[in-house]
Homo-oligomer: A and B are copies of this chain.
Amino acid sequence: MIFIIELSGTIAFAISGILEARRQNMDLIGVFTLAFITALGGGTLRDILLNRHPLIWVADPSYALMIFGLSVIGAIIFRGNHFHPAERWIVIPDALGLGLFAATGTAYALNLDISVFVALLLGVITATFGGVLRDLFCAEIPSVFRRTQLYATCAFAASFAYWFIHASGGDHEISTFVSIFVGASLRLLALRFDWRLPI
């Protein structure tokens, strides 16, 4: 179950990179790079900050191969720079991935016995910096810093939920599910009702 969410979350993140690359009229190289960075950039940055090596995609080639396959298909399917229905299909897997990646990042950080606040930050970085790097590579101000519908806030809530359940005695699996539920439902509510931060 967690594996399916991780897979669909990674694919959703990669597709968001592919769509952005197409909007910028990039070729296959740009499509693949943006898909890779969006899907794996957050976890890679977390691992570099925490000095965890080898990086997951260095140790296991299936990530890079899957994203390359998706990029070839995406570069053929998605043409033009108009709004694409794929942007709607990926909303739910993207929200699930947001919660899961926040939980994963928080879990790794808590294992290192670092303080709770920093562990929550690393959860947020894991979930959101793929998208931040995607926007940077498009020479745009990262959308997560603008008044979006609570994207990073949902990652923080998911990280907090993971820590709270874990500290209350929940095991990794149950904490992860609560985290995904909190992050994804808050995100979908924020999108539905256009909630944004007041400050």
Distance in Å: Cβ of A144 to nearest Cβ of chain B = 6
Contacting residue for A29 out of B61, B75, B145, CB 8 A: B145
Copy count, this protein chain: 3
Query: Does A199 lie within 8 Å of B75, measured CB to CB?
Result: yes
Query: Does A51 lie within 8 Å of B54, measured CB to CB?
Result: yes
B residues less than 8 Å from A168 (CB atoms): none
B residues less than 8 Å from A146 (CB atoms): 25-27, 30
Query: Does A197 lie within 8 Å of B29, measured CB to CB?
Result: yes
List residues of A (92-128) whose CB comes within 8 Å of B's CBs: 114-118, 121
In the complex formed, the residue of B with least CB distance to A196 is B27
B residues less than 8 Å from A115 (CB atoms): 61
Query: Does B139 lie within 8 Å of A139, measured CB to CB?
Result: yes
In the complex formed, the residue of B with least CB distance to A145 is B30
Query: Does B118 lie within 8 Å of A64, measured CB to CB?
Result: yes
**CB of A5 within 8 Å of the partner chain:** no
Given the interface pairs A139-B140, A145-B137, the reply to whether A152 lies near B61 with Cβ below 8 Å is no
CA distance A114 to B196 in the complex (A): 44
Interchain residue pairs A-B with the least CB separation, the first 9: A30-B145, A61-B115, A51-B53, A29-B152, A75-B199, A27-B197, A26-B145, A27-B147, A139-B141
Q: Which residues of A contact B (CB under 8 A)?
A: 21, 24-30, 33-34, 44, 48-51, 53-55, 57-59, 61, 64-65, 68, 72, 75-76, 114-118, 121, 132, 136-142, 144-147, 151-153, 196-197, 199
